[in-house]
Amino acid sequence: MLEPGTLKLLAAILVFSVPVWLFAAVLPGRVVAGLRLNRAQAQGLGAVVGLVLGVGFLLAVG
C-alpha cells in the first residue's frame, strides 16, 4: 500500500490537473475578461486555478 504522503501528493496532482483539462475543453473560443481565449490560454488559466487549488489542498491536509 502507498504511504499517506504519496497518496496526498497523487491527490494534489489530480486536483491540479482537473481544472487544466476542464478549462482546455470548455473555454477555447469564449470571452473571459474581454479576451477571446485560445486553447493554450485556456490551459494556462486552468493551470493557475489548478495550482491554487493543489497548493490549498496540500496546505489543508498537511
Average pLDDT over the chain, rounded to whole?
A: 92
Q: Answer yes or no: is pLDDT of 1 > 90.
A: no
pTM of the model: 0.82
The C-alpha atoms of residue 41 and residue 61 are separated, in whole angstroms, by 30
Give pLDDT, residue 32. Answer: 87
Euclidean distance between CA atoms 12 and 35, whole angstroms:
30
Residue 62 has pLDDT above 90, yes or no: no
**Residue 32, CB half-sphere, CA atoms under 13 Å: how many?**
14
Alpha helices in the chain (DSSP H): 4-26, 39-61
Question: What span, in angstroms and rounded, lies between the C-alpha atoms of 9 and 11?
Answer: 5
* Cell numbers standing for residue 24: 482546455
